[in-house]
DNA sequence: TTTGAAAAGCTAACCGTTAGCGCTACGGTC
DNA sequence: GACCGTAGCGCTAACGGTTAGCTTTTCAAA
């Protein structure tokens, strides 16, 4: 995981970490909106421009580990056991993510995100990027040159499941409720005409 | 539609319209990012504070008519023919929306939105609000006190269908591809245990 | 050691957005 | 018709996120 590269890259990673730590500490102490970028930079003993060299926006400071989520979804498809069906593998991964958000020290960060519309919006658009990546992974897994409509739909449904489960009273039960729906949808996409009661209406 | 109220409200509506028109004209002429708020206000012959009294943000200038979309979805559920099944009614509405975006003078505005990440993000979070409203309408239609997980899932799937169809090469065909999936998902939600191959994994 | 480049810094601004405050025109009341 | 409360609008000044332009430091390869 930690590539043992030269001192330069180590220092860069350390700076990035120092900034993320300082930001999270301040945000948790006093609230996201109440802390300015200039303050975060000062706390991390770094120039504002340096901060923006490591993070593209203030919101990104809170989601420093978002790449892991995307990789998790993509890997759940690409590196699952041979011949394991697609949707159950995704279900396992989403369940793991939901649990990860519930336990651990993640609860305060969750509250932070829910408390700011800017952060909620940022998270949503992150998840949409993840859906695109997942769609591509699914298409690749099926040997398709590019993501079809069905692949994209599946990917968005899975991301929806993640979001809805997080917001539900009982997240794990919600996963258990949504994934049969996704299973049915995916099944319908692969075996068309079975349960389709509606037809294209030309007028 | 147009309530014939006093001069005061007429003037207010006129000001709002003048601002929206000026904004759209400038944005289409020179691009969204290239036009500043102060410029829009000047073009509409209005103070910046007045502009923000009518629109909550710069992005909102482009989506002056977003309420109609939300109402369309909710009405598609609440005011459909008696005993008409839910999902086909939603399908009709989404199809109408997709067509509305494709034809008419809506194409330049579409390009405008696709060309700016700020606008795309704003639209996505609008659509999420619409999904919440739709979920509530579905729950109400079923006589439920509040939206269940399945209602929320259906609502998000429908909004996903809208977004995916818009971005597809053949939007109408995409609707025809996704809605059978939604139909199957909704069917699975209402008749559980039929096609569920995965179970909750306790560990 | 020299050198090229990546990383970090500083200053000064741009731009969306808001606060504070004053003015005017409208709508209901006497 | 005079009166008053307030909604709509304006101005100025600022705040906070973000970027451009340019210099300085730090590392690595030659």
The structural domains of chain A, with segments of one domain joined by +, span 7-56, 66-190
The sign of the dihedral angle between the CA atoms of A52, A36, B58, A118 is: positive
Looking at residue B101, its pLDDT comes to 83
In three-state secondary structure terms, A5 is: coil
Looking at residue A195, its pLDDT comes to 52
Which residue does chain A place closest to B157, by CA atoms?
Answer: A157
% helix, strand, coil for chain B, step of 5: 70, 0, 30
In this complex, which of B156, B183, B201 lies closest to A196 when CB atoms are compared?
B183
What would the two tokens of residue B110 be? 């579409």
How distant is C1' of C27 from CA of B65, in Å?
Answer: 29
CA distance A6 to chain B (A): 36
Q: What is the C-alpha separation between A9 and A14, in angstroms, rounded? A: 8
In chain B, which residues have pLDDT < 50? Answer: 1-3, 196-203
What CATH number should be reported for the domain whose range is B66-190? Answer: 1.10.357.10
* Neighbour tally for A44: CB within 10 Å: 22
Q: What is the C-alpha separation between B101 and B98, in angstroms, rounded? A: 5
Nearest CA among B66, B103, B86 for reference residue B157: B86
**Contact indicator for B74, B151 with CB cutoff of 8 Å:** no
* Neighbour tally for B80: CB within 10 Å: 17
> Measured between beta carbons, which residues in chain B are less than 8 angstroms from residue A185?
157, 181-182, 184-185, 188
**Contact indicator for B165, B178 with CB cutoff of 8 Å:** yes
Q: B18-43, pLDDT tens digit by residue? A: 999 999 999 999 999 999 999 999 99
Q: Strand C: which of residues 135-164 in chain B lie with Cβ below 7 A? A: none
**Contact indicator for A19, A44 with CB cutoff of 8 Å:** yes
Q: Is the CB of B111 under 7 A from strand C?
A: no
User: Looking at strand C, which nucleotides approach a protein CB closer than 7 A?
Assistant: 6-12, 14-20, 26-28
Q: What is the C-alpha separation between A145 and A10, in angstroms, rounded? A: 38
Domain B7-56 sits in which CATH superfamily? Homeodomain-like (1.10.10.60)
**Contact indicator for B125, B159 with CB cutoff of 8 Å:** no
Q: Do A177 and B91 touch (CB under 8 A)?
A: no
Which B-chain residues 25-54 have CB contacts (< 8 A) with chain A? none
CA dihedral A173, A165, B80, B169 (to 10 degrees): -130
Looking at residue B156, its pLDDT comes to 98
Looking at residue B48, its pLDDT comes to 96
Which B-chain residues 129-168 have CB contacts (< 8 A) with chain A? 149-150, 152-153, 156-157, 160-161, 163-164, 168
Q: Strand C: which of residues 4-43 in chain B lie with Cβ below 7 A? A: 6-9, 11, 35-38
Give CB contacts under 8 A, 24+ apart, made by A19-27.
Answer: A19/A44, A19/A46, A19/A50, A19/A51, A19/A54, A19/A55, A19/A61, A20/A55, A20/A61, A20/A64, A23/A61, A23/A62, A24/A61, A24/A62, A24/A109, A27/A61, A27/A62, A27/A112
Q: What is the C-alpha separation between B23 and B65, in angstroms, rounded? A: 14
In chain A, which residues have pLDDT < 70? Answer: 1-4, 194-203
Q: What is the C-alpha separation between B151 and B199, in angstroms, rounded? A: 21
What would the two tokens of residue B22 be? 């000026």
Which residue does chain B place closest to A125, by CA atoms?
Answer: B121
**Contact indicator for A171, A98 with CB cutoff of 8 Å:** yes
> Measured between beta carbons, which residues in chain A are less than 8 angstroms from residue B176?
200
Q: Do A177 and B152 touch (CB under 8 A)?
A: no
């Amino acid at each position: 995981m930690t590539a043992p590269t030269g001192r330069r890259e180590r220092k860069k990673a350390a700076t990035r970490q120092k900034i993320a730590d300082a930001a999270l500490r301040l945000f948790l102490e006093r609230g996201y909106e109440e802390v300015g970028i200039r303050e975060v930079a000062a706390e991390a003993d770094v120039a504002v421009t340096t901060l923006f060299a490591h993070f593209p926006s203030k919101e990104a400071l809170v989601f420093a580990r978002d790449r892991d989520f995307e990789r998790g979804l993509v890997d759940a498809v690409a590196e699952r056991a041979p011949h394991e069906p697609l949707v159950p593998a995704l279900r396992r991964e989403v369940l793991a993510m939901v649990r990860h958000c519930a336990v651990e020290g993640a609860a305060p960060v969750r509250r932070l995100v829910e408390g700011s519309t800017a952060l909620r919006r940022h998270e949503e658009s992150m998840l949409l990027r993840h859906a695109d990546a997942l769609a591509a992974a699914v298409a690749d897994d099926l040997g398709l040159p590019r993501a079809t409509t069905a692949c994209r739909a599946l990917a968005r449904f899975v991301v929806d499941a993640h979001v809805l489960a997080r917001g539900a009273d009982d997240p794990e039960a919600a996963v258990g409720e949504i994934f049969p729906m996704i299973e049915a949808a995916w099944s319908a996409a692969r075996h068309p005409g079975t349960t389709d009661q509606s037809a294209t209406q030309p007028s």
